[in-house]
Amino acid sequence: MRRTTAQLHAAGCAAGLPLLLLVDQEGGFARRLTWAAPTHTARELGGLGVARTRVEARAAAVALRAAGIDVDLAPVTDTLAPGGFLGSRAFGGDPSLVGRLAAAFVEELQAHRIAATTKHFPGLGTARVSTDDHRVSLRSTELEPFRTAIAAGVKLVMVSNASYPALDNSGAAAVFSRPIVTDLLRRSYGFDGVVVSDALDAPTPARTPDAPARALAAGVDLLLYTSGSAAHAAYVRLAADAHASPAVRAHLARAVAHIRALKHWLGLGCSR
């Protein structure tokens, strides 16, 4: 793993900029590095408490750093409702507990220079099925754990692909919603780090015209794809949109500034 990440970083530097390498390392079955902590699921950590969560998050950070990873796409900060599809990926159904555990997870990762990601803003805890084609009814208490994670200094926030009529009556998915990303997350909650999308090759965003530019316009900085071909097609589309639109270029400049600030915090650079 370390050899692979070293090759990736070298390739980035050869192209003129350091890469960010990101993985999902939530815990239990939801982890890409199967040999590394957290060994318990988030639900299990919810029962074990803050101290154990700190121990496992610290171990995860050490393992990720040794493997050459920069960003953990964790912790899940959704407050689980009965029947919620996230199941054991969530810490539990008490928003106060979820907030404390998420903050502990964030603090331990970032104390060891692994950037943490609170997700899936503004919340998927009540969703009973995959939300790429669904609206979510949001309870006000579900937002509180995200505010706690932001107060703990989390470096990234992942925005979901669901729509939230209570927050944006246009029906737009959160990842394309300026009221949710810019007005709520950025302005109301004061988050000034990197906003990352959920997978933009999921059904709803994949059917959305000019999805990369629309996500950037909402306030997203980092565009996530699970397929290399989909990512390349999005890059080509975004490059064309940026060539044609000063507004898209301005949104790109903002996103680049946020990402560069994250890379600076991580100490990423290319030796000359």
Helix (H, G, I), strand (E, B) or coil at 115: strand
- Quote the CA–CA distance of 101 and 89 in Å, as a whole number: 13
CA neighbor of 121 nearest in space, from 198, 192, 202, 41 = 198
* pLDDT on residue 204: 87
173 DSSP 8-state letter: B
Q: Residue 131: is its pLDDT beyond 70?
A: no
pTM score of the predicted model? 0.96
Maximum distance among all Cα pairs of the chain, rounded to whole angstroms: 54
The pLDDT-based confidence of 137 (bands split at 50, 70, 90) is confident
Rounded Cα gap, residues 176 and 197, in angstroms: 9
Distances (CA, A) of 130 to 18, 27, 166: 34, 20, 19
Instruction: Scan for tokens 């982890």, then name that residue.
Output: 31
pLDDT digits (tens, 9 = 90+) for 228-259: 999 999 999 999 999 999 999 999 999 999 99
Mean pLDDT across 49-75: 98
Q: Is a pLDDT exceeding 60 seen at residue 132?
A: no
Rounded to whole angstroms, the Cα distance separating 169 from 185 reads: 17
Lowest mean pLDDT segment, chosen from 20-24, 122-126, 133-137: 133-137
At the topology level of CATH, where does 2-266 sit? Answer: TIM Barrel (3.20.20)
Confidence of residue 140 (pLDDT cuts 50, 70, 90): confident
> What is the C-alpha separation between 41 and 129, in angstroms, rounded?
20
